[in-house]
Structure 1
Amino acid sequence: MNFASVRIITDDVNRLVEFYEKVLGVSAVHPAPVFAELVMPACTLAIGHSQTAQLFGAGSVVAASNHTVILEFRVDDVEAEYARLKPIVYDWVKEPTTMPWGNRSMLFRDPDGNLVNLFEPVTEEAIKRFSGRH
C-alpha cells in the first residue's frame, strides 16, 4: 500500500490552491472546477470545494474545521524557506525552532487555518532516521 494524498476541503479552492502553489513551488492540476491537485514526488495534496463533501457522506467533512492534523513537508533549508515565505504567510505559529526529536521546524497556518510544518532533519539521529525516505 502507498500513501497517495491528503485532501483539504475548503469553501475557496482558488485561494487555497494559490497559497499552496507558492508554498510548495508546484503548479496545480485542475481536473474539475471544484477540485485541484498539487502533485509532488512523495504524495499529492488535493484540494476540494466544500460542494464535494457530500460525496463522502452527509456531514462527514466540514470545510476549514481541522484542529488535529498537521501537514508536514521536509525541506532542504528551513531558514531559507522561512525567509522566502515570510512575505506570503500571515499566520505564523512557530518561527524556526529545533525540536527535541532533531528536526528544525517552522509552523504556520494556511488561509483556512490548517497547520503546516516545514521541517529539516538537523541532528545526526534525525538525519539518519530520514535517510532513504523520499
Structure 2
Amino acid sequence: MEVLTSRTLLISPDPDALTAFYRDSLGLAVAREYPGGVVFHAGTSLLEIPAHLTATEVGGDVLWLQVRDVAAERNRLADRGVPITAEPETKPWGLIEMTVRDPDGRAVIIVQIPADHPLRRDQRPPAQA
C-alpha cells in the first residue's frame, strides 16, 4: 500500500479537554481545524482529535491512512483476506473512506481525498503583487 499521509485519531469522551491538553499544555501547532475537530502537527505525523467519533463507534484510537485510490485498495485488501468493516463511501465531509480492522480490532480508516476537496486546494490568500 502506498500511503500518502497518515494520522492517529485520538478518541476521547472529552475532546475539548484533550484538545486543550495538546494545544495549550504540550504546545503542539494546529495543522487545521474543522467543525468538530482539530488536527495537530506532531513531528512528521499528525494527531487528530475528532469530536464526531466516540469510542463506542470505533472501539478506541484509530489509524488514518490516505491513499490514491481507495477502491483499488479495497480490492487488494479483500484479496489478502483483510476484514473490511465499512465499504468505501463518500462521507458528508467529502472524503472517500473505508474501514478495516487490524488483528487487535483497531480501526484503520483508508481515505481518498477527491481532487475537488478543500484539503487538495491551497487555502492561502493570493500573494499580493
**Length-normalised TM-score, structure 1:** 0.44
**Length-normalised TM-score, structure 2:** 0.46
